[in-house]
Structure formats: structure tokens, C-alpha cells
Amino acid sequence: MLIELKDVNKTYNNGQPLHVLKGINLGIDSGEFVSIMGASGSGKSTLLNILGILDNYDTGEYHIDGRLIKNLSEKQAAAYRNKMIGFIFQSFNLIGFKTAVENVELPLFYQGVNRRKRHELAMQYLDRLGLAGWAGHYPNEMSGGQKQRVAIARALITNPKIILADEPTGALDSKTSEEVMQLLGELNRQDKVTIIVVTHESGVANCTDKIVHIKDGVIGRIEDNREHHSSMFGTQTIMK
Amino acid sequence: MRFDVDTYREIADSLVRNKSRSLLTGFGVFWGIFMLLFLMGGGQGLRQLISANFQGFATNTCILIPDRTTMPWKGMKQGRRWHMTYTDVERMKMMVPELETVTPMVSNWGQEAVLGPNTISGNIKGVYADYQNIEEPQLRYGRYINESDVLHGRKVCVIGKRIYTSLFPQGGDPCGTMIKVGPVYYQVVGVDFNSGNMNINGSADEAIVIPLPIAQKVYQRGNDIDLLCATARKGFKSSQLEDRMRAIMAREHQFDPSDRNAMFVINTEQIFAIVDNLFTGLNFLIWLVGLGTILAGVIGVSNIMMVTVKERTTEIGIRRAIGATPRDILGQIIMESISLTLVAGSFGIVFAVLLLELLKKIVSMATAGASVQADPEFQISFWTAVAAAVLLSLLGVVAGLAPASRAMSIKPVDAMRDE
Ligand SMILES: Nc1ncnc2c1ncn2[C@@H]1O[C@H](COP(=O)(O)OP(=O)(O)OP(=O)(O)O)[C@@H](O)[C@H]1O
Ligand SMILES: [Mg+2]
């Protein structure tokens, strides 16, 4: 098991305490392509943030690759985020005053990779995502799909084991959504990257091999979707 | 913190991105360091300019000058004149052993000095050899009046700069030449170029210094002297001895010892102390104003960095999410703060140096014709500039601390929750 959650609980304590995750048990193997679905407010993003060590959980255990992720120092957490995990967000979260290639380079900057090498690598990844011509452009000069591909390049550049995507298609139209999902699928198949996608679009979930349903803070049904038949509209395209 | 070209480019970028904001904030620091350095240089130059006036004058000297009494004493009416005599010199030496030099002067103003076709009006000063302990001559040529001149009653003189340039317009060593002053011929033995403005009985420039007994004889002064100069030994202050000297004089010449106006006393030590205090006060003010202004500038930087951090919360969150440690963030903010302070401050240093250079030129032009030969140094030293730069860096760090700690406390999750 690459990722293992045992009875993970999380309560938000600002003002009224809100018990969001009520004992999550979940295992994900290396190389899986998983989606997490659930109603709005069911705790999907909260779970994903815990998986990405962006946030802490209260009780339970979370292991990555057998190592317990708990009470890490900021430095250790930063190192995990930098080397093991790549993030893709609904709102892309590119840095606006940096060009596409500079955005992609950034994780390597924090690894201490030298300037030329990281530029070279960043160009390679942009090329792979069909954005070589856009390297010098700023995010506000690009379409949503292009921005998301830049974000994917940035997530990939450190060669992470896990990619976590929080509604990566949430801000995209159906055609670009499909492209992005295809891209993630390819990455999963070719590079054997473990990918976890949070979504509430069944079409998006249908692109993944396994669908985890979360309801009221606990894991409900776990669907095997290797046949990609879960969505009645999902076989051909992603409906918006 | 990782340093490479991009680190610096990023700092430059973020400062340039908010051009007017950086400019306005930087101006506070620029103005602060400029004020401090310019005032420091100006104060230093002013002090040197004023000190030049006291050049060559003993700092621990009392000058006693007889005047009319202003109080009745033992049946004598007020308004009486009294005279000092040479005996007073010997008496002071004996009765006040704390005095180092006690030396009298007899003077006569407005004497015509003549050599061939050249004439100039000067002041005769009759002195003893030890008068040079009071007003140190700066001999361009020859020597000062010595003991044997006095002993043998030689008619010799030491002339001041203006007398020299007027009587000897062609320059050269005048020693040995006879000049006529008033009714008498004197042989020039020295030229005194002292140009301080602190003089007794007229400027050294226009003085014709001769042995005192000659002056007494020529001007029929008998045993009288005009005034008496006394310097205190090391460890004693002339101002402390003043009252005793007053009492001795009062007893001898029969005036009320509490009659402060009967004898006029100039205490150079007090004058120097006043000037010294003035400059100590001025310096304090300079530091207060200078540092205060810088501090205001630095607080401005801190403030604006705070705003920057708040504006860039999301960006910082993204950086943290993709692997920046809190130290990376700290370094980035502190470096930005240092850069802003240091760049703005460097302009301040350069501007202060340029303006001080200009001030120096103006002052040296203005004083070129003056009698006081001062070459005041308004410019700050190289090390002062270096110290200022170090101070700026330190202040940059200080300014960055609060914003940086705020930036460090930004958690990636909070930052990226888009509201
Ligand atoms: N920082 C926070 N402080 C307090 N409550 C929070 C915080 N973050 C999330 N919540 C609450 O926790 C619950 C779960 O939030 P979460 O973002 O995980 O939902 P989600 O499943 O991702 O929903 P959506 O599909 O709308 O994105 C919500 O009720 C939300 O209001
Ligand atoms: Mg969410």
C-alpha cells in the first residue's frame, strides 16, 4: 500500500466545532487512478489536503509508503510535498507574475536544482504537454485548459509518486475537461503515477479506475471502474 | 534559503512590480540616511570651521584687564581707574603656584609701519618671550621674541601676515630688514602667519610684536601693563583660579573684591567649553533627527512589507504547497526588505556625499579671502559610509522581521482556499 488511512478524524474548530472526517479508512496502491466523489461539504477537499500534507488530522494514522505522517516538522512536510506529491487545483494556482516556464520550474528551485537544469526540464515537460510555444506567456494570457496543463507540468516536474487533483476540471469546459482527464490517464498508465482526483462530476470519475464515495465524513461505496461504465453519459464524453 | 540568479531577479521583480509603492517607501529610507550623513558632515565641517578661529590659542587661559571700579571701597569713590603694573606679574607667579605662565602685554593700536614707499597701520604688542605659550605663533620666517631680546632691550619685531604682505609685496625672507613703526626703527626677526580669530588686543595678522620693555619705554608707560595673561598648570582649570586672582588684585589695587566690573576677566576655557557644549548639543540633535528620520523610513518599509505579505498570501501558500520551507519564505521576505532598504539607502549615501562635496566647494570659495585659514572637512569618511550601509542592512532585517514572521505563519491550506 502506498497510501493508508486508518480511522482518520478531522474537526474544524473555528467557532462551532465541525467534525468533517469521521474515521476515514482507505488504502490506495501504487499506480492506482482513483477518484473521490461526494456531495458538496462532504469533506473531499479536507481529505485531499490531509493526503497532501497541506493540513493536519486530529486522530488516526496516515502512512505514505509505510512511513507515518504525523507531527512532521515544517521542513519535513515541505520536503514530502516537494518530492513525493504533485498538486493540481481547480483554480490552477499558478503564480500570476511568473511565466509558464517559471511556474513549472518553481518546485525544482526549492529542491536546489541549478538554473539551467531546471529550465531545461521545465521546457521538456511543457513540450510534453504541448505548451512549448507558450513557455514565455503569463497565466493571464492563457486559456483555462492551457493553465491547467501548465499546472500539471508543474506537478509532474519533480517526478512525484502521487498526484493529487482537487476538481481539476471544475473550471473547464467539457472538451478541455476530457483532454485533461485523458492526460492524467496517460500519465497513470505510462509513468505509473498514482493519481487521486476529487470531483463531483460523474463523467470525470468515470475516467478513473476506482471511485471512492464519501458521505458525511465516512467512506461509503468503493466502485471498481476499470470498465469505465459507471456513468451513463460518461462513456463517450464528459457532460457539463 | 537558496541563492541563485533567480533569487535576486525575483526580489528585483517584486520591487519593480510595485514601482510607485517601492519608490515612495524607499524615499523614507533615502531621506533618513541622507539627513543623518549630511548633518553629520555639516556638523563636522562647522566644528572645524569654528575651531579654526581658536587655532594656536591656549585653551586654559585667563586674561585679566583692569577697568573702572563700579563700587565704592574704603572711602574711595566708584568709577576710579586703576593700573596693572609689572609687579602684578611677579606677585601672581608667587602667590598662585598653580599658574604655569603669567605674562603681561603692553599694546598700542594704530601705529603706522613704513618700509620705503609701503605703509600699513598695525598694532604694537609688547610681550615677553613666554607670550608664545598663550598665543602660539606660526612662524613663516625667522624666530619669535626671545629672552635675550628682552634682556638687552633690542629693537626687534615679529610681524603679522598682513603687515608682511603689505610691506614686502615681493615676498621673500624679510628677516634683518629695518622697518619704521611709529617713531622707532625695528629690525624684523620673524613673520607670524597665525590666522586664528582668537587674539588678544587685535588680530595677529596686523600685529607688530616687540619686547615689552621697549614698548613701555617708547610709549612712556613706566611700569604699567595693559593686561595680564595666565595659563593654569595641567590638572587645574583657569576658571577655578579666577576668584583667587581677583582677590589678590583687589587687595593690591584697593577695590572691592566683589566688584566684578573693576577687572574684566576673559576665561578662554569657558569660551571653549561653551563652544564644546554647543557642538555636543548639536551632535546630539543631529543623531536624534537623523536616526529618527531613518527609523520613520524603516517603519514605512516594515509597513509596506506587511501589506505585500498580505497581498501575496495565495502566492506564498502556493510556494509552500510545492515545497518551500518556512525558512525559504522568511528568507524571501527579509531579502526583499533588505534590498529595498539598502538600495534606497545607497542612493541616500551617494546623494549626501555629492551634496557635502558641493558644500565643501562653496565654503572653501566663501572663505578663500578670509583671514582664517580653515580647510574644514565636510565630507564623511569612507568608513562612515560603510557603517551607514551596514546599519541599513541591519535595519532592513529589523524591518522585515514582523512581515516575515507573518508570512511564515501562512498555512498552505488557508492560503489556497479562494474566497
Ligand atoms: N478551514 C475550515 N474551517 C472551518 N470549516 C471548514 C474549513 N474548511 C472546510 N470547512 C468545512 O468543512 C466541510 C468540508 O469541507 P470540504 O472543503 O472538505 O468539502 P468538499 O467536499 O471539498 O466540498 P466541495 O465539493 O464544495 O468542494 C464543509 O462544511 C466546510 O464548510
Ligand atoms: Mg472541495
Integer Cα distance of B373 and B49 in angstroms: 9
Q: Is-contact A88 A164, C-beta < 8 A? A: yes
| Confidence band of B399 (pLDDT split at 50, 70, 90) | very high
Q: Is-contact A195 A168, C-beta < 8 A? A: no
Which CATH number fits the domain that encloses residue A116?
Answer: 3.40.50.300
| Confidence band of A9 (pLDDT split at 50, 70, 90) | very high
| Confidence band of B258 (pLDDT split at 50, 70, 90) | confident
DSSP B239-261: HHHHHHHHHHHHHHHT--TT-TT
Q: Which ligand is nearest to the CA of A44?
A: 1
C-alpha cell at A86: 504533485
CB contact under 8 A, A55 and B413: yes
C-alpha cell at A203: 463523467
DSSP A128-178: HTT-GGGTT--GGGS-HHHHHHHHHHHHHTT--SEEEEESTTTTS-HHHHH
Atom number of ligand 1 nearest to Cα A44: 21
Is the residue at A182 inside a domain?
Answer: yes
Q: In the prediction, which pLDDT does B235 show? A: 81
Gap from B398 CA to chain A (nearest CA, Å): 24
- Answer whether A14 contacts ligand 1 (Cβ < 6 A): yes
Integer Cα distance of A79 and A110 in angstroms: 9
| Average pLDDT, integer, range B383-400 | 91
| Average pLDDT, integer, range A228-238 | 61
Domain count of chain A? Answer: 1
| Average pLDDT, integer, range B272-280 | 85
Integer Cα distance of A175 and A143 in angstroms: 13
Closest listed residue to residue B391, CA positions, set B327, B348, B333, B332: B348
Q: How many residues does chain A have?
A: 240
C-alpha cell at B120: 600699513
Neighbouring C-beta atoms of residue A185, cutoff 10 Å = 16
- Decide if pLDDT at B377 tops 90: no
| Average pLDDT, integer, range B301-326 | 91
| Confidence band of A170 (pLDDT split at 50, 70, 90) | confident
C-alpha cell at A232: 451513463
Strand order in the sheet with A85-89: A85-89, A162-166, A194-198, A33-38, A210-215, A218-224
Is the residue at A58 inside a domain?
Answer: yes
Cβ-nearest to A93 among B2, B318, B324: B318
C-alpha cell at B211: 619686547
- Answer whether A49 contacts ligand 1 (Cβ < 6 A): no
3-class secondary-structure state, position B285: helix
Q: Which residues of A24-57 are buried (b: 16+ CB within 10 A; e: fewer)?
A: bebebeeebbbbbbbeeebbbbbbbbbbbbbbbb
Cβ-nearest to B315 among A87, A89, A95: A95
CA A46 to centroid of ligand 1, rounded, Å: 6
Residue B121 β-bridge partners? B112
Is the residue at A230 inside a domain?
Answer: no
Is the residue at A168 inside a domain?
Answer: yes
Q: What residue numbers bound the domain in which A42 lies?
A: 3-224
B142 versus B1: the higher-pLDDT residue is B142
Cβ-nearest to A78 among B314, B323, B413: B323
| Chain mean position to CA B322 | 61
Of A111-120, A157-166, B363-372, the range with the lowest mean pLDDT is B363-372
pLDDT in tens, B1-54: 566 777 788 888 888 888 899 999 999 999 999 999 999 999 888 888 887 777
CA B347 to centroid of ligand 1, rounded, Å: 50
Is the residue at A178 inside a domain?
Answer: yes
Residues of B in contact with A92 (CB under 8 A): none
DSSP B307-351: HHHHHTHHHHHHHHHTT--HHHHHHHHHHHHHHHHHHHHHHHHHH
Query: Tell me, what amino acid is at B305?
Result: M
How many C-alpha atoms does B327 have within 13 Å on its Cβ side? Answer: 11
Integer Cα distance of B334 and B341 in angstroms: 11
Integer Cα distance of A122 and A114 in angstroms: 12
| Confidence band of B196 (pLDDT split at 50, 70, 90) | low
Q: Is-contact B343 B8, C-beta < 8 A? A: no
Mean pLDDT of chain B: 88
- Answer whether A42 contacts ligand 1 (Cβ < 6 A): yes
If you take atom 2 of ligand 1, which residue's CA is the nearest one?
A12
The residue among A14, A49, A125 with the most chain B CBs within 10 A of its CB, best to mutate, is A49
Query: Tell me, what amino acid is at A24?
Result: I
CB contact under 8 A, B323 and A110: yes
Phi then psi for residue A171, to 5 deg, are -110, 15
- Interface confidence, given as ipTM, is 0.91
DSSP class of residue B73 equals B
CB contact under 8 A, B322 and A81: yes
Integer Cα distance of B182 and B114 in angstroms: 8
**What angle (nearest 5°) sits at the alpha carbon of residue B7, between those of residues B3 and B8?**
110
Is the residue at A229 inside a domain?
Answer: no
CB contact under 8 A, B327 and A75: yes
Residues of A in contact with B13 (CB under 8 A): 97
Torsion angle of C-alpha atoms A201, A202, A206, A210, degrees rounded to 10: 90
Which chain B residue shows the shortest CA-CA distance from A104? Answer: B322
Give CA separation, B297 vs B24, B222, B311, B398, in Å.
10, 71, 21, 12
- Answer whether A170 contacts ligand 1 (Cβ < 6 A): no
Is the residue at A235 inside a domain?
Answer: no
3-class secondary-structure state, position B188: strand
Is the residue at A236 inside a domain?
Answer: no
If you take atom 9 of ligand 1, which residue's CA is the nearest one?
A46
Neighbouring C-beta atoms of residue B276, cutoff 10 Å = 13
| Confidence band of B370 (pLDDT split at 50, 70, 90) | low
- Decide if pLDDT at A234 tops 50: no
pLDDT in tens, A24-70: 999 999 999 999 999 988 999 999 999 999 999 999 999 999 999 99
